[in-house]
Amino acid sequence: MGLLSKVISQSAGMAVAARCYGSSGLVAQKWIYAKAFKGEPTAQNFRLENEELPALKDGEFLAQAEYISVDPYMRPYMMAYPEGSLMIGGQVGKVLESKNSAFPVGASIFGQFGWRTHTVCNPAGSKQNERPYVLPDFGTLPTSLGLGVLGMPGNTAYFGLLELCAPKQGETVVVSGAAGAVGSLVGQIAKLKGCTAVGIAGSDTKCQWMKQIGFDETINYKTDNIYTELKKKAPKGVDVYFDNVGGKTSEAVLKLMNLYGRVAVCGTISNYNTDIEKVADPLRQMVFKQLKMEGFVVWRWNDRWMEGIKANLEWIKEGKLQWHETVTQGFENVPVAFMDMLKGGNTGKAVVKI
């Protein structure tokens, strides 16, 4: 699948400093969590700052961001950080200078460096599940895939579906958030396992695209009655539900689960912008249908990380797994890309080209 290039021209209403070298070294630009999120993020939640970087010490390397990831988890996770913190997140970059032989100059790397243009990193000082790594050889594929199908979202789909849901040939797998980075892969992997894949997403255009990449049935949750449509489109009931959104969508899907169904709770984006006080209880179905439901965070499979990337890469090379990206241009537009993604502006993985 090709690259969908989406240029977002707003600059979040903020002045953008030029990338430059200061008197004692490189000056990195970084996006700061200026004001705690309340409801939907706005430009006021972010502030751009400069940071003069120190000279490298032994064991360190200097990376320049090429692509920065914007992901839903940033909305709830940042609530645990004080105002003034760096915006968290993964990026794919190039090593510009190095005093660490495992990260040679010119290497393409993945690092959880946050929303910043340049980073001095000492891998030995990183937590085990936050260690940077040199990207495997993607051949002619773009390195940005290290943030999507060949990175965290790809592994979320791969391990979350295969390990927690064990889909079997002939079963019906329902995926919410199905046109996104994780969901679009879950549906395709379900098809590779011989299942019927039903995807739920927020526009007819997304639903058409999901059909193109192999989903059997689609539902537009913004215009369709999910329960009524799913009853028609999954006439044998639902064996596996891979949940990316929670809320009313999940309430409807859970009612149609089959005996001994499996539910992977990957995310609940429908309530990321909301203070949850009163949530309707979808768990009633758990008891009577004897369902297995399990929440997970992809880092659980940290020790098998490259296995997931290699499996997805192999499927891409065999033409069995298609990927899609929504690419926003420019470091100044990272907050805009993030806000746009939370509103459903992306198909496939949302990334920012720096």
Local structure of 343: helix, strand or coil: coil
**CA nearest neighbour of 206 among 223, 191, 189:** 223
Give least dist CB 35 to ligand NAP, A: 21
The interaxial angle of helices 183-192 and 305-317, nearest 10 deg, is: 70
Dihedrals phi, psi of 147, to nearest 5 degrees: -100, -5
Residues that bind ligand NAP (CB under 6 A): 71-73, 153, 156, 177, 179-183, 201-203, 206, 244-245, 266-267, 269-270, 296-298, 341-342, 344, 346, 350
Dihedrals phi, psi of 107, to nearest 5 degrees: -70, 145
Helix (H) or strand (E) holding 264: strand 257-265
Contact between residue 351 and residue 68 where contact means Cβ atoms under 8 Å apart:
yes
Q: Specify the residue, 60 or 71, whose C-beta has the smaller distance to ligand NAP.
A: 71
Give least dist CB 335 to ligand NAP, A: 16
Q: Specify the residue, 24 or 274, whose C-beta has the smaller distance to ligand NAP.
A: 274
Give least dist CB 346 to ligand NAP, A: 5
Neighbours of 297 (CB within 10 A): 13
Q: Is the dihedral of CA 298, 304, 305, 308 positive or negative?
A: negative
Q: Specify the residue, 123 or 344, whose C-beta has the smaller distance to ligand NAP.
A: 344
Neighbours of 260 (CB within 10 A): 10
Q: Specify the residue, 97 or 130, whose C-beta has the smaller distance to ligand NAP.
A: 130
Q: Specify the residue, 28 or 185, whose C-beta has the smaller distance to ligand NAP.
A: 185
Give least dist CB 315 to ligand NAP, A: 17
Distance of CA 265 to the CA centre of its chain: 15
Q: Specify the residue, 40 or 52, whose C-beta has the smaller distance to ligand NAP.
A: 40
Q: Specify the residue, 321 or 341, whose C-beta has the smaller distance to ligand NAP.
A: 341
Give least dist CB 336 to ligand NAP, A: 14
Q: Which residues pair with 69 in a beta bridge?
A: 351
CA–CA separation, 234 and 236 (whole Å): 6
